[in-house]
Amino acid sequence: MKYTQLDIAPTISSLLGFEIPDKDGREIKEIGAYCADKSIDQILLIVVDGVGAVLYKKLDGALPQLKALSDDGLFFEIHSLPPRITTPNIGTILTGYAPKHHRLYEVADTFYTPVRSILEIASDNGIKSGIVIELLGAKAMLNRVDLAIGVENLHGIIDYDRRITDLALKAFSLEGIRLLMIHLRAIDNCAHHYATAWDDFTFSARTIDKNFERICRGLCRPTLIFVTSDHPIHVKKWAHLEDNNADVPLIASYVNEATDPDERE
Ligand SMILES: [Zn+2]
C-alpha cells in the first residue's frame, strides 16, 4: 500500500524510540532500513509549503541541493490527505493522525488541543524538540516543546525563509535540539501572491534550495533530514501545474558533518 502523510510521524517516532498512541499512520520501513547502519544525532523535518510531487519534478534544475539529498537518500511520492490546506496537513504530518482525529483545522485550534505532536511526545521522552515557524504557530507550541521560535514575515518571504533556516541551525548548535521541524513558505507564497509566470516558481524554488544548501553546510552533527510538503499547489490559477495529482514528495537523507556538501557524490 502506498505511503501517505500519516506515515511521517510514526517513522520519526520509531527512529527516536517512542510510540504514538492510537496513530493512524505506520512506519515507513524503507527509512528504518536506510538508517539502520547510521549514527543519527538529530532529525530535521522540513515542510516546504505547497509543492506536489508533479510540481517537484517540473522544478528539477531549480532544486539542485534537494536533488542531491534525494539522490544520496530515499525518495517517495506519498499521498496527501484532504483538505490539502496548510494547518490541517501540517497537523497530520506532525501527529500521524488523520484530520478527523487531530481536528487541527486552523491555527487557533492548535492552541488548546489534547492532541500531541511527535515534538511534544519526543520532549516528554527526554528528547529535546523544537519548532521554527510563523509567529502564531510558535506561540501555540510555547511551553509544549523545548524550543518554539516564531518568525514574522517583515521583509518578504525570501528573508523569512532565510531567517527560519538560520534559526534552525542555531537551534541545533546552541540549544542541543534533537528533533526540529521548520516550515519554508516561498513557493506557496509565490503561488498565492505574485506568480505571473512559470519563472516565478523556479525563482522561488531556487531561494528555497539556497536554504537547503545552508542547512547542509551548517549542520554540525550527523543529521537525518526529511523534506516533504503539506499539499500540492492549491491556488486555482496554478493548480494545473500538478496535473490532477495529489501526491507530495518525501525525501529522507542522511547528512554527516564529516562529508563536505561540495564533495558529496
Ligand atoms: Zn500550505
**Secondary structure element (H or E) that encloses residue 180, with its range:** strand 179-184
Say yes or no to pLDDT of 263 above 90. no
Question: How much is the pLDDT for 262?
Answer: 55
Question: How much is the pLDDT for 112?
Answer: 87
Question: How much is the pLDDT for 140?
Answer: 93
Residue 209 CA to residue 19 CA, distance in Å, equals 33
**Secondary structure element (H or E) that encloses residue 33, with its range:** helix 29-35
CA of 49 to the centre of ligand 1 (A): 4
CA of 263 to the centre of ligand 1 (A): 33
| Range with lowest mean pLDDT among 2-11, 105-114, 206-215 | 105-114
Q: What is the pLDDT of residues 136-185, one digit of tens each?
A: 999 999 999 999 999 999 999 999 999 999 999 999 998 889 999 999 99
pLDDT band, residue 265 (cuts 50/70/90): very low
pLDDT band, residue 257 (cuts 50/70/90): low
CA of 188 to the centre of ligand 1 (A): 6
CA of 147 to the centre of ligand 1 (A): 23
Q: What is the pLDDT of residues 29-79, one digit of tens each?
A: 999 999 999 999 999 999 999 999 999 999 999 999 999 999 999 999 999
Q: CB of 70 within 8 A of CB of 237?
A: no
CA of 261 to the centre of ligand 1 (A): 29
Question: How much is the pLDDT for 209?
Answer: 98
DSSP string, 202-219: HHHHHHHHHHHHHHHHH-
